[in-house]
């Protein structure tokens, strides 16, 4: 299939004002999209859990990139599993349906690494999505997002609807969510170290035992991959977006402490959950199907993220 030109296309980016969304909009513009044709529905104006809002958002659009999600770390997943399931399922399934009804040319659904089974062979291959149940603490969120893959496959089969499904690994970068109640591990740890330094604390508590591994994708890389897939990929198969570089949580927090100059003690709270034991993606499909490879080195990305947070810490609640 020829590359999809973004010029003269009406494009909706749900979640376009968020952490990843701002990067996606920037990459769309770089790839030739028209600024005045990019719509960013704000949650204050469009509650995408309501069908009427989804109908309004999909109307007269050519491309929808669905990034909007109710999402957070282990703490939020334990506190609000029902909300995470309902909100993410309703937003996605209704928007896909209204996009089909409105004749949208292409739907790009951004899923989640949490959709993978708890004990997926490492590195995670897209074909292993259905071999088991997700890690319990984030299963409601992961299953809600994975249901959208099934929906897109069904709509492709019955209606020839062009919807693709991408699976980005854990994201990080400047402008991330640093709220301790809902943030993911990198921004949460950066904030924790920064505040410990401000108070002069001699030690920092850290959830779990440090043994799990994670993979992290810089937000600009993720956005570039999403836009590349929008232009160049139109198959039913889900596609991982990642770096294929695995980092243990213990190594992560030690690197953050080193980069931030914190020399105190780490206290592992082993009564707190670790989450999924390992996460690392097989990224060959993205490379083969549409030429995506991550560019930002992990240490460089951490340095940029830390620098941004230090500059804006006083403005963040």
In a domain, 289, yes or no: yes
Domain housing 109:
11-172+216-243+280-295
In a domain, 300, yes or no: no
Which of 46, 100, 116, 141 is the catalytic position? Answer: 141
Question: Quick check: 1 pLDDT over 70?
Answer: no
d(CA 122, CA 65): 29
In a domain, 177, yes or no: no
pLDDT at position 277, please? 83
d(CA 212, CA 87): 28
d(CA 270, CA 286): 36
In a domain, 195, yes or no: no
How many domains are contained in the chain? Answer: 1
pTM: 0.92
In a domain, 140, yes or no: yes
Q: What is the CATH number of the domain that holds 82?
A: 3.40.50.720
Of 144, 146, 141, 145, nearest in space to 130 by CA: 146
Q: Model confidence over 242-275: pLDDT tens digits?
A: 999 999 999 999 999 999 999 999 999 999 888 7
pLDDT at position 236, please? 97
Kindly state the average pLDDT of the residues 72-87: 87
In a domain, 186, yes or no: no
pLDDT at position 200, please? 94
141 is catalytic: yes
- 180: tokens are 């301790």
In a domain, 306, yes or no: no
Q: Model confidence over 274-306: pLDDT tens digits?
A: 877 888 999 999 999 999 999 999 999 999 999
SS3 sequence, 92-135?
A: HHHHHHHHHHCCCCEEEEECCHHHCECCCCCCECHHHCCCCCEC
Q: Model confidence over 176-196: pLDDT tens digits?
A: 989 877 788 899 999 999 999
pLDDT at position 73, please? 73
In a domain, 3, yes or no: no
Locate the DSSP E strands across 176-296.
203-207, 213-214, 216-218, 239-241, 247-248, 265-269
């Amino acid at each position: 299939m020829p590359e999809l030109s973004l010029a003269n296309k009406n494009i909706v980016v749900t979640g376009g004002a968020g952490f990843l969304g701002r990067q996606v909009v920037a990459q769309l513009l770089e790839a030739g999209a028209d600024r005045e044709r990019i719509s960013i529905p704000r949650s204050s104006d469009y509650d995408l859990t309501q069908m009427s809002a989804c109908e309004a958002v999909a109307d007269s659009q050519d491309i929808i990139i669905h990034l909007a999600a109710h999402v957070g770390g282990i703490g939020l997943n334990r506190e609000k599993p029902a909300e995470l399931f309902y909100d993410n399922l309703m937003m996605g399934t209704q928007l896909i349906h209204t996009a089909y009804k409105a004749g949208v040319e292409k739907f790009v659904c951004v899923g989640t690494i949490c959709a993978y089974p708890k004990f997926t062979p490492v590195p995670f291959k897209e074909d292993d999505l259905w071999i088991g149940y997700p890690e319990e603490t984030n299963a409601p969120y992961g299953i809600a997002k994975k249901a959208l893959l099934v929906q897109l496959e069904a709509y492709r089969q019955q209606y020839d609807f062009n919807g693709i499904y991408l699976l980005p690994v854990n994201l990080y970068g400047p402008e991330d969510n640093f709220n301790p109640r809902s943030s993911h591990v990198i921004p949460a740890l950066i904030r924790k170290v920064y505040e410990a330094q401000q108070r002069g604390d001699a030690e920092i508590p850290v959830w779990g035992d440090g043994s799990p591994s994670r993979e992290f994708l810089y937000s600009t890389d993720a956005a570039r991959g999403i836009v590349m897939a929008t232009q160049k990929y139109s198959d039913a198969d889900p596609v991982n977006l990642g770096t294929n570089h695995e980092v243990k949580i213990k190594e992560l927090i030690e690197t953050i402490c080193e980069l931030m100059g914190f020399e105190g003690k780490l206290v592992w709270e082993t009564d707190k959950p670790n989450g999924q034991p390992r996460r690392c993606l097989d990224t060959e499909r993205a490379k083969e199907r549409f030429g995506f490879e991550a560019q930002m080195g992990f240490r460089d990305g951490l340095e940029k993220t830390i620098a941004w947070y230090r500059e804006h810490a006083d403005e963040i609640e």
